């Protein structure tokens, strides 16, 4: 949740609601959205089976995505987050998706 928005996720998609009115602000319909969704500095980070997505929290617009095979978000710290795939653990910069892996 941000100061003005509430975010919800399920297997159908991601939803953004106005905190005060409860009205839908935007929605992203996708059958891929079913994992962890932290919000940092107004951006949503969604972990799916194949990608990590960064979305603008105000508009729902995709900022970037990073391809993985079977991902799972582990932790966010110091503007970086750690993602586990079937083969590696990646460290991604939350602003750009620049990465390095721990092979």
User: What confidence category does residue 86 fall into, taking pLDDT thresholds of 50, 70 and 90?
Assistant: confident
Instruction: Tell me what pLDDT residue 51 has.
Output: 77
Q: Any idea how long the chain is?
A: 103
Distance CA 20, CA 65 (A): 30
Q: Using the predicted structure, report yes or no on whether residue 1 has a pLDDT greater than 60.
A: no
More confident residue, 34 or 7: 7
Instruction: Tell me what pLDDT residue 84 has.
Output: 74
The 10s digit of each residue's pLDDT in 54-80 is 889 999 999 988 877 665 666 777 777
Instruction: Tell me what pLDDT residue 23 has.
Output: 95
Q: Which of 81, 83, 80, 82 is nearest to 71 (CA)?
A: 83
């Amino acid at each position: 949740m941000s100061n003005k928005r509430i975010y919800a996720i399920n297997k159908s998609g991601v939803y953004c609601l106005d905190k005060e009115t409860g009205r839908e602000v935007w929605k992203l319909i996708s059958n891929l959205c079913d994992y962890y969704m932290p919000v940092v500095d107004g951006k949503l980070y969604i972990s799916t089976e194949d990608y990590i997505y960064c979305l603008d929290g105000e508009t729902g617009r995709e900022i970037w995505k990073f391809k993985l095979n079977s991902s799972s978000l582990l932790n966010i710290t110091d503007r970086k987050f750690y993602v586990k795939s079937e083969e590696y653990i990646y460290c991604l910069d939350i602003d750009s998706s620049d990465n390095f892996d721990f092979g």
